[in-house]
Amino acid sequence: MDFDMVSAIPMLERTPAVLGTLLGGLPDRWTQLDEGDGTWSVREVLAHLIHGENADWIPRVRHLMEWGERKPFPPFDRTFGFAERREQPVEELVEEFARLRRESLASLAALHLTSNDLAREGSHPEFGRVTLAQHLATWVAHDLTHLSQIVRILGVQYREAVGPWAAYLRVVRPVPS
Amino acid sequence: MDFDMVSAIPMLERTPAVLGTLLGGLPDRWTQLDEGDGTWSVREVLAHLIHGENADWIPRVRHLMEWGERKPFPPFDRTFGFAERREQPVEELVEEFARLRRESLASLAALHLTSNDLAREGSHPEFGRVTLAQHLATWVAHDLTHLSQIVRILGVQYREAVGPWAAYLRVVRPVPS
């Protein structure tokens, strides 16, 4: 499926609400642990999503519109804020993400991007030439990746509890490397 | 994390709402396809969840309480209703699942299961002895598995659209066999 704004925006709009519905009021036990060594906790994923709104998605749209391929995007720190966010209530992190997402989408709308803009190219610090449409499609797929990750983090908490059913339930299995 | 009703019920209660928030009003393009050959579409996953409420979760609780290990659970048809459900609106399937889940949870509450009940054993047609607690933990983990699957089905629709970012986004990669 090709990227278009009409499909992308409704998905970007709903991610905070989906996270709120999934995590709001959930007993703390569910969100205390991660998936094992070297994996992220729910709070860390939320910190990463928050930092994406602040430093990646709209900032890189603006960077690409201003610089095109002449200047690569500044690198993005994937684990920014992890230490600080570790004690914050999950609901608070979701609310902060929701507020920032609303602002991001307002900024996106205000840019009135045309299909010509979507075809414009920028330079990624690691893999070079990328289009604005690819960047925006990645924003959506990135939401879904981390939503799926949070669901997995919840699921693995029952890894032992399901007994022999573990063989059938992909979500309780260890993360593939 | 051990199974307990206090953690499990809030998760079982929210699954239909999470699916409603994720899928309600989403442009049809997102839910028309599956993840590739031999994988399920969003409607098929929802048909499977609906059939679970009708034929697996509470029926097997009752079966175990009545028969213990003396009689294995009847087998469960994982693809029941797939053909019939293929044209049904996604929202309608989510609503049906939500109604059935409310009924299941009302039935569960009415059983007033004790910790002795949770330790009772039944017989699974394939892997033998299982406890009621394992069955109920599996109900929760099964919700999360299929929620994560639906998120992946959405994500893979942008497999091509994200361009070189595909290498970083687990959700757009082909399903591991």
Residue B172: per-residue pLDDT: 81
Assess B110–A contact: CB distance below 8 Å, yes or no: no
CA A8 to chain centre: 14
Torsional sign, CA A52, B169, A20, B22? positive
- Is pLDDT at B7 greater than 50 in this prediction? yes
Assess B131–A contact: CB distance below 8 Å, yes or no: yes
The complex's ipTM?
0.95
Residues in A touching B176 (Cβ below 8 Å): 176
**CB A171, CB B144: distance < 8 Å:** yes
Rounded-to-integer distance, Cα B21 and Cα A17, Å: 7
Q: Shortest CA distance to A172 belongs to which of A47, A46, A36, A38? A: A36
Rounded-to-integer distance, Cα A70 and Cα A54, Å: 23
A79-128 confidence digits (pLDDT tens): 999 999 988 999 999 999 999 999 999 999 999 999 999 999 999 999 89
Single-letter residue type at B100: L
Cβ contact B151–A154 (<8 Å): no
B29-74 confidence digits (pLDDT tens): 999 988 889 999 999 999 999 999 999 999 999 999 999 999 999 9
Assess B144–A contact: CB distance below 8 Å, yes or no: yes
Assess A163–B contact: CB distance below 8 Å, yes or no: yes
The minimum CA-CA distance between A22 and chain B, rounded to whole Å, is 6
DSSP state letter for A128 = E
Torsional sign, CA B161, B162, B166, B169? negative
Residue B176: per-residue pLDDT: 54
Q: At B49, list the tokens.
A: 């969840």
Task: Please provide the DSSP assignment of B33-49 as one string.
Answer: --SSTT---HHHHHHHH
DSSP state letter for A175 = P
What is the average pLDDT score of chain B? Answer: 94
Task: Read off the pTM.
Answer: 0.96
- Is pLDDT at B177 greater than 50 in this prediction? no
Nearby residues of B158 by Cβ (< 8 Å), 6 or more positions away? A1, A3, A137, A138, A140, A141, B172
Residue A176: per-residue pLDDT: 54
B82 falls in which pLDDT band (50, 70, 90)?
A: very high
